[in-house]
Amino acid sequence: MKRVKLFISSPADVSAECKQALAVVNRLQPEFEEALTLDSVVSAVGSDSAGAHAQQAADFDIFIAIIGGQLAHWPGGHPANGGDAISPSRTEAEFASALQGARQAGRPELLVYRKSFTAGDPDTSQRAAVAAFFDKWFLSAEDKTATAAYHSFAEAEQFTDLFTVHLRKLLRRHLPRPNNLPQPGSSFVGRTQLLREVSGLLRQSDTRLVTLMGPGGTGKSRLGLRVAHDMLPEFEDGVFLISLAALSQADLVPSTIATTLDIKQNDNRPVIETVIDALQNKEMLLLIDNLEQVQSAVAQIDTLVSKCPGIKILLTGREAPRVSGARTVKVPPFSLPDINKASYEEIVASESIQLFLARARAVSEGFQLTEENAGQVLQICHRLDGLPLAIELATSRLRAMDTSELLKSMDQRFAVLDGGTEELLDHQRSLRELISWSYDLLSEDEQRLWRRMAVFTGGFAMEAAEEVCDPEDEFIVDIEVEGLVDKSLANLSFHTLEDGEEEARVSMLDTLREYALMKLEESGELSHFRERFCDWVTGLADDSFHELRGAGSDARIALLEMEQVNVQAAIDYCLNLANPDWNRALRIGGGVWFYWFERGILSTSRRLFEQALEERPDVEKAVRALALRALGSVARFQNDLDIAERACLKALDLYSELQDDAGQANVLGELGAIAERQGDMEKAADKLDRALQLFSMVPGDLHGLSFASAARGVINHLEGDLAGARAYYEAALSAGSESGDTDSIASALVNLGEVAEAEANYEQAYEHYAQSLDLFAHRGKKVAIAYCAEIIAGLSCKHRKKYSDAALFFGFAEALRAETESPIESFNAERLEADIRLTRKAMNEETFRASWDAGASLEVDEFLLLIRDIELSGTGAAVA
């Protein structure tokens, strides 16, 4: 466990803040207890030697100085008015020593806080000394390296908030770097020189993009992952793997980067611009793997690198990108000694043989390389051209045969490598031949199942494989899959579900999947099993439409997170047919649209749903109506109210023709919400009343009922009818509670909190807001989290008079809305602006801006922790 030493320097007049700082350290210790031990040292206030304190201050991880109206002890007395100090004060000596130590460590880890002067401050000589200190180091200094550490505060409450935010951020720097890198399942063999070369390039300040180039099977991905692991300590904001293995369209690369890095996408801007905004100030390494399938995405990657100075990219691909300044490192097959002249020692030293030996021992624990079999192993590796993937596939056969049998088998199956087209490199042809050889060694059942599994683009569960690939109950699927995993033709991983159970998921390397699809086409089964795959995705979407609006919504969202690649693949297949299947594409999209809405996948969904505006005779009315209703919701969220209303009116006509009362009720609820955004409350009330009347006639759609009830309550609320509003909000909460839908429950609680606040029941209001915030945070709805932060901030400034808390919350909410580019209704915007004006007026501009900026710097998880800290400490927003 890492020990983090903190040095706290403070004169006697801020002893209360010093105690608060220690309390914050103690409160944060449990949060980091699994990784860090916090060790605090407080500079004494007696007449100690400044030199001794300065020496101690230099030996620190984080230095904190809290300064009020005076500096700490001067040896020989403090300076007279206007005079110079006899020698530096203890505060100055400690700070100077700490800054020097921080610079030597490469980054200043210092926090300096200045408390505003009050009427009770010490004499003018002390005031002048404090002013001179800050002028020297922060305000007029030519050397600006320390300025980022300077923060001002006016009251103890604000200091606690600021210090908690800042210290938590610094402590997180001492945690392991963030990453999503998988732990290698087997040892890394060889490539010592390449590792040194690639790492050296990435460490050069003028290198921004490095490509590992080579044919399939040379181990580019494995090498890239090893480099990424080695480079973790050198990138403050982490190292992340961006896998493009499942992609076939270059324009999806920015979305894949955004999804992997949890960057919220917004329909109003190109995704690459959103990614650039999010990464502009980050220090991060991205390992972008399998670029060859989407080579044209290089231009967007180049744009990302050129506009984000702290981002470096390591690519793997079969071609060198045509990008100015990019560095390319060729990854060849492993070298091999001369098959006719190599000694035993030379054979053993070969990287190919070392890899063969390591993998052979993994499948056959007693395997030994001897002088008798060394020549056979060398011949095998030569036949495989030293390709790492080929060697790994070959060694999997040692479960059933020895090296002489393996070599004979290769003589029969893999003697002449002359297949493929002229465009293929030799090693690509040899790898395909190896896969063909591996395929031929499978049993007939394994062959059939393996090629059918290739219709899945992403990973898939065993149950999905059974449904799609085994319609005639030909296999025991899990046993056959285990055999394929043993032969390195499939991968098996386990994921924890919402209920705590583990689910096995199967995946295939992309090269293997491409070959399997080719064999599926040769068998005449490709079209049939792609249709079965699309049927499976359609069923998944149909089930999701209902599951996303009830007690199972959290589990369904987690499932769709894993299946999104397959969902998109099915839609792409439908639309790429000679005669596009718009009906099934829209049906799939309509089933999952609420998941897309939750995750901010708006561009993709809107492009699809806009097709429903056109008359298409092959699209069923019910499918088109659902797509139009989804388009209406997405467009309303984006404040495109004309399109939203147009789509919903068309949907309403279709549901009327179908005599679908539930469909009409939902669309009328959506039209009511649109009218509210348009400011037409009379029209909104009419639509919502009609919706509620229909819901009463067709019970069962509790999500729609909750939405319409809450929207209807907003009208009463805006008109000042709090009792009427509360009745509608309670009805919305009741419907949400009955269905178990956390989204409906959270929304209704917000509304009820606003009624309670309007009735001056501030304790109950805060309770409702806090519950709602927890539920929205669990779902990951950033827009809703921002709104909760705004209303809690309003409560803090208007009724608790905790202006520092309010400014911090407002700053956080504004940054989160900017990140998601989420509009706010006009009637809520007016209230928000008024609350911010009130907060700003109650604070001086410097302290207001400091709190606002501290909030704006928070991530969502940090904000949630701070809210909890404030509640526990009683210093802030908890309402009495």
- C-alpha distances (whole Å) from 754 to each of 612, 630, 712, 797, 805 are 38, 28, 15, 15, 19
Q: How confident is the model at residue 267 (pLDDT cuts 50, 70, 90)?
A: low
CATH number of 192-330: 3.40.50.300
Main-chain dihedrals φ then ψ at residue 209, nearest 5 degrees: -140, 125
Sorting pLDDT into bands at 50, 70 and 90, what band is 87?
Answer: low
pLDDT at res. 434: 61
Fold match flag (2-173 vs 660-749): no
For position 879, what pLDDT does the model report? 29
Residue 601, φ and ψ in degrees, nearest 5: -85, 75
Weakest mean pLDDT among 474-483, 771-780, 867-876? 867-876
Q: Please state which of the ranges 12-21, 184-193, 755-764 shows the lowest mean pLDDT.
A: 184-193
Q: pLDDT digits over 560-601, tens only?
A: 988 999 999 999 999 999 999 999 999 999 999 988 887 767
What pLDDT is recorded for position 431?
Answer: 59
pLDDT higher than 80, residue 49: no
Q: How confident is the model at residue 877 (pLDDT cuts 50, 70, 90)?
A: very low
What 18-25 contacts at long range (C-beta under 8 Å, 24+ apart), as own/partner pairs, is 18/42, 18/66, 20/156, 20/159, 20/160, 20/163, 21/64, 21/66, 21/163, 23/873, 24/160, 24/163, 24/164, 24/167, 25/167
The mean pLDDT value of the chain amounts to 84
Report the C-alpha gap between 511 and 493 in whole angstroms.
19
pLDDT at residue 352, rounded to an integer? 84
Average pLDDT over residues 279-288: 92
pLDDT surpassing 80 at residue 351: yes
- The token duo for 598 is 């939750």
CA distance 854 to 432: 56
Q: Give the per-residue pLDDT at 580.
A: 94
In this prediction, residues 475-497 reach a mean pLDDT of: 82
Split at pLDDT 50, 70, 90, the class of 86 is low
Q: How many C-beta atoms surround the C-beta of residue 814 within 10 A?
A: 18
CA distances 528 to 451, 480, 521, Å, are: 12, 21, 10
Given a cut of 70, whether residue 874 has pLDDT beyond it is no
In tens, the pLDDT along 217-253 reads: 778 888 899 899 888 878 888 999 998 877 778 888 8
Residue 627 has pLDDT above 90, yes or no: yes
Joined together, the tokens standing for residue 352 give: 């190919």
**Centroid of chain to Cα 32:** 21
Which tops the pLDDT comparison, 870 or 856? 856
Q: Residue 422: what residue type? A: E
Quote the distance between the C-alpha of residue 235 and its chain's center.
17
What digits encode the pLDDT tens for the residues 495-526? 777 667 778 899 887 767 888 999 999 999 99
Q: pLDDT, tens digit, for every residue of 20-44?
A: 999 999 999 988 888 888 988 887 5
Alpha-carbon gap, residue 368 to 201, rounded angstroms: 38
Q: What pLDDT sits at residue 72? A: 77
Identify the weakest region by mean pLDDT among 268-272, 739-743, 787-791: 268-272
Sequence-ordered list of residues with C-beta below 8 angstroms from that of 427, at least 6 positions apart, any chain? 214, 215, 216, 217, 218, 333, 385, 387
Please give the structure tokens belonging to residue 753. 């909190």
- Rounded mean pLDDT of 196-208? 88
Task: Domain ranges for the chain, please list them.
Answer: 2-173, 192-330, 344-436, 442-524, 527-643, 660-749, 762-873
Q: Which of helix, strand or coil describes residue 411?
A: helix
- What is the predicted pLDDT for the residue at 767? 93
DSSP 499: T
> Given this model, what pLDDT does residue 58 score?
63
Give me the CATH code for the 660-749 domain, please: 1.25.40.10
* 766 CB-contact burial (10 Å; exposed 0-12 / middle 13-18 / buried 19+): buried
pLDDT level of residue 389 (50, 70, 90 thresholds) = confident
Q: Which of 785, 704, 778 is nearest to 742 (CA)?
A: 778
| Residues 785-817 pLDDT 10s | 999 999 999 999 998 889 999 999 999 999 988
Predicted confidence at residue 417, as pLDDT, reads 27
**What kind of architecture, by CATH, is found in domain 442-524?**
Orthogonal Bundle (1.10)
239-243 sheet: strands from edge to edge: 239-243, 284-289, 311-317, 209-213, 327-330
pLDDT for 432 beyond 80? no
Q: What percent of the chain has pLDDT over 90?
A: 38
Q: What is the residue-wise DSSP string for 92-121?
A: HHHHHHHHHHHHHHTS--EEEEEEPP-TT-
The CA distance from 799 to 786, in Å, is: 20
Residue range 447-470, pLDDT digits in tens: 999 999 999 987 899 999 999 999
In this structure, are residues 47 and 87 in contact, taking their beta carbons and an 8 Å threshold? no
Instruction: Return the higher-pLDDT residue of 224 and 143.
Output: 224
CATH number of 2-173: 3.40.50
Q: Residue 384 has what pLDDT?
A: 77
Mean pLDDT, rounded, for 404-422: 53
The pLDDT confidence band at residue 47, using thresholds 50, 70 and 90, is: very low
User: What pLDDT digit, counting tens, does each position of 708-726 carry?
Assistant: 999 999 999 999 999 999 9
How far apart CA 454 and CA 324 sit, in angstroms, is 37
How high is the pLDDT of residue 80? Answer: 43
Compute the C-alpha angle 820/823/826, nearest 5°.
Answer: 160
pLDDT of residue 120: 56
Q: Give the whole-angstrom CA distance, residue 209 versus residue 224.
A: 13
Q: Is the pLDDT of residue 428 over 50?
A: no
* 3-state SS class at 463: helix
Distance CA(287)–CA(84), nearest Å, equals 56
Non-local (6+) Cβ contacts of 116 within 8 A are: 152, 153, 154, 844, 847
Task: Average the pLDDT over each of 350-364, 527-541, 632-646, 799-813 and give the range with the smallest value.
Answer: 350-364
The alpha carbon of 812 is separated from its chain's Cα centroid by a whole number of angstroms, namely: 18
The whole-angstrom separation of Cα 541 and Cα 64 is 54
- The pLDDT confidence band at residue 107, using thresholds 50, 70 and 90, is low
Task: Please tell me the predicted confidence (pLDDT) of residue 119.
Answer: 55
Query: For residues 201 and 207, is the Cβ–Cβ distance under 8 A?
Result: yes
> Average pLDDT in the 727-742 region?
93
pTM attached to this predicted model: 0.66
Higher pLDDT, 175 or 695: 695
Question: In the Cβ-directed half-sphere of 195, how many Cα atoms lie within 13 Å?
Answer: 14
Q: Best-predicted range by mean pLDDT among 139-148, 488-497, 537-546, 591-600?
A: 537-546
**pLDDT at res. 790:** 94
